[in-house]
Structure 1
Amino acid sequence: MQARAALAAVLAVVLALSGCAEPNRTIHATDGSQPTESTTPTPTPSPRPTRTKPPKPPLRPLPTTLPAGLRRSTGVRPVALTFDDGPSPAWTPKVLDQLRAAKVTATFCVVGHEAQRHPELIRRIVREGHQLCNHSWRHDLDLARRPAAEIRADLTRTNKAIQAAAPGTPVAFYRQPGGRWTAEVLAVAKELGMRPLHWTVDPQDWNKPTAATITKRVHSAARPGAIVLLHDGGGDRAATLGACPHLIADLKRRFGITRLR
């Protein structure tokens, strides 16, 4: 037995010197005459538990036609001007300057996130006699397709940002981004005391046509009681700003411009 143990020790030294030995391997002799090797398994770490987020509920489909109950007319002969996606420090003050010069008022459909960032513009809008309209927190085009609780949280958050900027200011209207209305968003807006505000004239100034094209489109589509959709935020509004003096003068001459009631 002593001879066998000595032989195993010699073999282990030889293998280590020749680079054949591996970590966690030991060589020992069995009851036979030849030594054998065994491997001690390396413990593997336990896998970390993975956290899976619960699946979001699917978005409900949009109706194929606009639902009933949308505000789409002033109800009188004069038309109304509305400006969406602001307030923007680059464009809203210039739009306000033009409205003041023309001695007309408008409705500003403001995005809550922008209202929170630029409360001084919300205060100026109110101070100069214009109306405020809730236009969602971040202009989520699919907001109306989400669960009612998400819609309510979004609209409530936006109203709070408006009230923080201009305490006590009424927010009488809600406008769904993209005009993508559902019965659910209508119900939530009504629950929060807001009327759903749509439009009848859309010159698609968000697509950046020229000022002349915007003016022409508004002129062609406007009718008594029309609600005109324009933008003072959400991108470069130089063309809208360039069109405003001409289209405002045209609408004042043909119909008059009124504040929404």
Structure 2
Amino acid sequence: MKTDQMIPGRRSVLRIAACLGAAATAGALFTERGPGRADAPRPAAAPPAVAGAPEKESAYRLQPMTEYTPPVFRRALPPVRTRPFERLADAGRTMVLTFDDGPDPHYTPGILRTLREYDVNAMFFVCGEMARENRDLLAEMAGAGHVVGNHTWSHPLIPKLPPSRIREELGRTSEVIEQTLGAAPLWYRAPYGAWNKYSFEIGAELGMEPLAWTVDTLDWAEPGTGTIVRRVLEGAGPGVVVLSHDAGGDRSQSVTALRSYLPRLLDAGYRITVPRR
């Protein structure tokens, strides 16, 4: 795996006080619930079946990192979450669409086009190594009003890592996002939905809130476009957060499914939105 050659510093300790001061706003938007099925790890998907892809899945999942010294952060002030947010609270017929593992130049642009066509915003939880290689897509996401979140650097199983590695995975990804967009991410998601005490504490130190999901499309398993569409529509409801993917495998089904279920959600009266802090 390639490693960064330059180690940037943080800006005023990531503006931790300001981010944590906004936690009350996040609490008003989301409700905390038990982890449920979000805690069950899922197998890694097959590599993308696209010729000439610059980053195969094996290039950024579960790989060790070297030559990086994470910045030192002070411990976060309370409150520190003990469970991730899973849905919007008291938001009426509002839903959130989220996409993990990207950005991928083969699939992310198609998702961005559909979102732009219907004038809605989504959340993209990016892996640091993918983000480093596709900074133009990060800029396009942010420029269109989408929320860019932290999904670790190499998509590891967090509970198997020591705190120093968790800080490295999250801190290094936040650095890339801040370098590219001028602001550090305010939200993060644990790969496989596998959280632990250290991930919540370190995420808070980095000024981020944890977000899981309500509906898992299981699109990583490539179940077929129709199945993905059905899972979204059957799981739709007030406050629902939908999990899909724009990288980590062949995501052509995910791209096509979005074009089908998004207009149907809008026709059903749902407002697709993103949290703001």
Q: 2:102 aligns with which of 75, 82, 86?
A: 86
Q: Structure with the greater relative contact order (CA < 8 A, sep ≥ 6): 1 or 2?
A: 2
The RMSD of aligned alpha carbons is: 1.7
* Stretches of structure 2 lacking an aligned partner (at least 5 in a row): 1-34, 40-80
Q: Which moved more, 1:73-82 or 1:131-140?
A: 73-82
In the other structure, the counterpart of 1:217 is 231
Aligned residue-pair number: 197
**Separation of aligned partners in 1, 2:261 and 2:85:** 22
Cα offsets for 1:131-152 (capped at 9, x unmatched): 0110000111x22332112111
In the other structure, the counterpart of 1:73 is 87
- The yes-or-no answer on 1:143 pairing with 2:128 is no
The code of the aligned residue for 1:145 comes to: K
**Separation of aligned partners in 2, 1:126 and 1:171:** 11
Alignment map for 1:31-180 (pairs within 5 Å) = 68-75=82-89, 76-77=91-92, 78-140=94-156, 142-168=157-183, 170-180=184-194
- The yes-or-no answer on 1:249 pairing with 2:263 is yes
**Separation of aligned partners in 2, 1:251 and 1:226:** 12
**Separation of aligned partners in 2, 1:252 and 1:194:** 30
Q: CA deviation at 1:64?
A: 8.7
* Identical pairs, percent: 37
TM-score (norm 2): 0.68
TM-score (norm 1): 0.72
**Separation of aligned partners in 1, 2:160 and 2:198:** 8
**Separation of aligned partners in 1, 2:254 and 2:214:** 17
Q: Which moved more, 1:232-241 or 1:67-76?
A: 67-76
Please list every run of at least 4 consecutive aligned residues from structure 1 whose deviation after the TM superposition is greater than 4 angstroms.
63-68
Report SS of the residue matched to 2:259: helix
1:84/1:64 Cα in 2 relative to 1: closer, same or farther (>3 Å)? Answer: closer
Residues 215 and 235, structure 2, Cα contact 8 Å, conserved in 1? yes
The code of the aligned residue for 2:166 comes to: I
